[in-house]
Homo-oligomer: A and B are copies of this chain.
Amino acid sequence: MVDTAPRADERVLKQASPARASSKPAVNAAAGPKLDVDLVAKMLLGSFPEVRLEAREIAKDPQFHRVEGLSLDEQRERTLEQMKLQAERGFQLRAFPKRLGGFEDAGGNLAGFQELVTADPSLQIKGGVQWGLFAAAILHLGTAEHHDRFLPGAISLEVPGAFAMTETGHGSDVAAIGTTATYDPATEEFVVNTPFRAAWKDYLGNAAKHATAATVFAQLITDGVNHGVHCFYVPIRDAATGEFLPGIGGEDDGHKGGLNGVDNGRLHFDQVRIPRTNLLNRYGDVAADGTYTSSIDSPGRRFFTMLGTLVQGRVSLDGSTTIASALGLFIALTYASQRRQFASATPGVEHVLLDYQRHQRRLLPRLAQTYAQYFSHDVLLRAFDDVFSGRADTDENRQNLETLAAALKPLSTWHALDTLQEAREACGGSGFLAENRLTGLRADLDIYVTFEGDNNVLLQLVGKRLLTDFASQFKGATKSDLAKFAAGQVAGKAYNEGGIRRVGQNLSDLAGVGHSIEALKDRDTQRALLQDRVDTMVAAIGSELNKVRTASPAEQAAAFNAHQDELIEAARAWGELQQWQAFTDALEKVEDAGTRKVLGWLHSLFTFTLFERHLAWYLIHGRISARRGQAVTSYIHRLLERLRPHTLDLIGAFGFAPEQVRAPIASGAEGLRQDEAMAYYANLRESGLAPVDEKAAKKKPH
């Protein structure tokens, strides 16, 4: 509230045309360090900059934009038409084999796909179903013969497809699906069947209307043995008439909370016969005589290997939702830098929203988190590309990739919903208008937190991996060793590495926020604190579970359940550590001093927001003293003040073009309105015709 005169950066925005204003905000005129916007924009573009820039051209094209007010049918048809346009441009080819016209560029493909979120999430997801699930299942689970037979139609969209894995009764627990594919050696066919209502395939994109084929997951049964879930290529509709083929039925899922350009629906199969060779047989095959063979001996590992090929969905969502969060913040922070409310100490001038501490508090920590995600996503995307390009396709790399994706996807998808909602509220009533896009984006992204792996289930997977790693570290350890771990005395290497003990001490000889916070600003200490929290939490749970390792399955399950919530929190902590590490690594590469300074503040804001969120834990476990704990929040407030003049630079580095933003409130229009109002009152005062306030009038002698 101190500086109420419009800042130079806001003036520029106000005087700019809408198109100009919603592009990169101009350089910041504040004194002190300055962010190099172009440099940071380049950092945020990540490892596949050309692909992203190319994809943004599609995202900017009005043909691909979401239109409000269409009926359900119109939305679905428009989205299909948009996909055809994409296909004509060859946008979808990137991931596919060169011999089929593709580029074999797995990472680049996902980078481009993510950028579509600013055009229309429905387009992104319907395309994702077609090329990232249906065609990708053929690519990854099928073999060369399947590629030749099925991929061209899937790629060209001649054959719109559904990815029929989820059932009404089974989502996250894919291994337990009810659909069966029983081999009949007499005809050399599989018989695909839905045995009961809960085994109907459900929520499948493209299934309600457009799909003429589907990659169907079913229990493969041959010779009286169930070999577990495999994937089959099943034609489902007559392409000419759009009618279901014999034995196939379905239902429309109807309206959804968002993504209504995608026609989700249900499918069921009544003894539907398909050729034996429609089994996508990369990891398991059935010979003409019914003999089952697989290159992977363990049914469990085989199942997870097949499902592992689906990790790209999670990787994509991590990147897409990060871009959507950035867009929401771009809109809300641009508006906050122009919108005025409540009189300031300067007569005739009202405060800009962004000068309110609360407003900063609501938006800037979310900006810091979004930055962290840009960097951690790039780490994830590179890990994905390493494996899927074949350059570093080892079991260990695959497992690490899956764990990282399972940790980051929940954090970034939840962050998007939270951020878009806060952005909407920060824009008040105008945030609720569809034209300003925040509500629509949020509605469309809502499902991202439960599809491609429910967030809680994914975090539990990460937690289990952490427990496994923990256990393998201590094979042969005594119970007493483990108990010590649980007590947090020797919890992790980090705690003993010197940094944290110091921070935990209540240094009563130090006065003021500045001193007491100093130790927490050291990046090695930060890393140690974050790492130690993960280690200690996992050790505590591991030790508890260890107590029942010889108990009955039911007792073991009960013990696990009694720590489920903590385990998921531990997994979240691990994910936060990955984000922190990626942000730190990116920051440490920056050479420009001003950029290093400003990004350093943003990094601190991210880190201290984590400390504040988990402060009770750090206090209880003696890792941060009460005195330092109190200083955490004060320091966050100081960082908000420091970052406030750099806000427009920070959102400018996202590199959004006006055609990607498209929200009238982020166009500069609000600034023009505020200028007009201030000019009106200034003129009125000068004219001498302004009415006197009653209060002032009463003071005058009558």
Binding site for B on A (CB under 8 A): 1-2, 4, 68-69, 71-72, 166, 168-173, 176, 178, 195-199, 202-203, 219, 221, 224-228, 253-258, 292, 299, 340-346, 350, 355-358, 361-362, 417, 421, 424-425, 428-435, 438-440, 442-443, 446-447, 449-451, 454-456, 460, 552-555, 557-558, 560-565, 568, 612, 615-616, 619-622, 626, 629-630, 637, 673-674, 676-677, 680, 691-695, 697
A340 → chain B closest CB, angstroms: 8
State the CA gap A256–B673 with chains docked (Å). Answer: 22
Contact B432 A446 (CB under 8 A): yes
Contact B637 A616 (CB under 8 A): no
Contact A694 B454 (CB under 8 A): no
If A257-B432, A435-B254 touch, whether A676 touches B196 (CB-CB below 8 Å) is: yes
Contact pick for A225, options B456, B619, B676, B692, CB 8 Å: B692
Closest to A680 in B: B196
State the CA gap A4–B438 with chains docked (Å). Answer: 43
Cβ of A195: which chain B residues have Cβ within 8 Å of it? 680
Cβ of A447: which chain B residues have Cβ within 8 Å of it? 429, 432
State the CA gap A677–B694 with chains docked (Å). Answer: 76
Contact A450 B428 (CB under 8 A): yes
Contact B446 A424 (CB under 8 A): yes
Cβ of A621: which chain B residues have Cβ within 8 Å of it? 626
Instruction: Give the number of copies in the complex.
Output: 2
A639 → chain B closest CB, angstroms: 13
Contact pick for A168, options B343, B629, B673, CB 8 Å: B673
Could you list 26 examples of A-B contacts with CB < 8 Å? A1-B561, A4-B554, A69-B254, A168-B430, A171-B428, A173-B343, A197-B673, A197-B676, A225-B691, A225-B693, A256-B434, A257-B433, A257-B443, A258-B432, A292-B694, A344-B557, A345-B553, A357-B562, A358-B456, A425-B454, A443-B443, A615-B616, A616-B616, A616-B629, A620-B626, A622-B626
Contact A342 B173 (CB under 8 A): yes
Cβ of A694: which chain B residues have Cβ within 8 Å of it? 225-228, 292, 299
List the 9 shortest-distance A-B pairs measured between CB atoms, nearest first: A257-B439, A255-B434, A615-B616, A345-B554, A1-B561, A1-B557, A226-B691, A203-B429, A198-B673
A567 → chain B closest CB, angstroms: 9
Closest to A566 in B: B633
Contact A176 B342 (CB under 8 A): yes
Cβ of A226: which chain B residues have Cβ within 8 Å of it? 691-694
Cβ of A355: which chain B residues have Cβ within 8 Å of it? 561
A426 → chain B closest CB, angstroms: 9
State the CA gap A443–B447 with chains docked (Å). Answer: 14
Cβ of A196: which chain B residues have Cβ within 8 Å of it? 673, 676-677, 680
Closest to A435 in B: B254
Contact A69 B72 (CB under 8 A): yes
Cβ of A673: which chain B residues have Cβ within 8 Å of it? 168-169, 196-198
State the CA gap A620–B68 with chains docked (Å). Answer: 50
Contact pick for A221, options B299, B568, B630, B691, CB 8 Å: B691
Most buried by B among A197, A620, A693: A620
A454 → chain B closest CB, angstroms: 6
If A171-B428, A626-B620 touch, whether A1 touches B558 (CB-CB below 8 Å) is: yes
Cβ of A442: which chain B residues have Cβ within 8 Å of it? 257
A180 → chain B closest CB, angstroms: 8
Most buried by B among A195, A255, A565, A674: A565
A632 → chain B closest CB, angstroms: 9
Cβ of A171: which chain B residues have Cβ within 8 Å of it? 341, 428-429
A173 → chain B closest CB, angstroms: 5
Cβ of A341: which chain B residues have Cβ within 8 Å of it? 170-173
If A168-B673, A680-B195 touch, whether A2 touches B432 (CB-CB below 8 Å) is: no
Assuming A169-B677, A621-B626, what are 15 further A-B pairs, CB within 8 angstroms? A166-B429, A173-B343, A176-B343, A178-B680, A199-B677, A226-B691, A227-B694, A254-B435, A257-B440, A292-B694, A357-B562, A357-B563, A358-B564, A619-B620, A620-B626
State the CA gap A443–B456 with chains docked (Å). Answer: 23
State the CA gap A166–B619 with chains docked (Å). Answer: 46
Most buried by B among A258, A428, A680: A428
Contact pick for A450, options B168, B225, B429, CB 8 Å: B429
State the CA gap A598–B344 with chains docked (Å). Answer: 52
State the CA gap A4–B553 with chains docked (Å). Answer: 12
Contact B565 A358 (CB under 8 A): yes
Contact pick for A695, options B256, B299, B455, B563, CB 8 Å: B299
State the CA gap A691–B203 with chains docked (Å). Answer: 28
State the CA gap A440–B195 with chains docked (Å). Answer: 33
State the CA gap A492–B53 with chains docked (Å). Answer: 59
Closest to A300 in B: B695
